[in-house]
């Protein structure tokens, strides 16, 4: 996953007020962009945009 796409997904996910629901929004955005569904990221990851960007890039590495 490109850094630009990871930032876009993380930024959109952060608009969800309740951190417990951000993980679900992340999963929806991931699928919308054609990536396979994975386990929901931990609450501490979805509470911080930069950590979420890192998680997305690590989880969806391209070779």
Domain boundaries, the chain: 3-59
Average pLDDT over residues 54-62: 94
Banded pLDDT at 51 (limits 50, 70, 90):
very high
Banded pLDDT at 62 (limits 50, 70, 90):
confident
Burial of residue 40 (number of CB atoms within 10 Å: 0-12, 13-18, 19+): middle
Between the CA of residue 39 and those of 14, 27, what are the distances in Å?
A: 18, 8
Entry pTM? 0.91
Banded pLDDT at 20 (limits 50, 70, 90):
confident
């Amino acid at each position: 996953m490109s850094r630009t796409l990871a930032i876009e997904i993380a930024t959109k996910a952060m608009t969800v007020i309740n951190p417990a629901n951000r993980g679900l929004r992340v999963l929806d955005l991931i699928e919308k962009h054609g990536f396979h569904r994975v386990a929901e990221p931990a609450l501490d990851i979805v509470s911080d945009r930069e950590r979420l960007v890192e998680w997305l890039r690590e989880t969806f590495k391209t070779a």
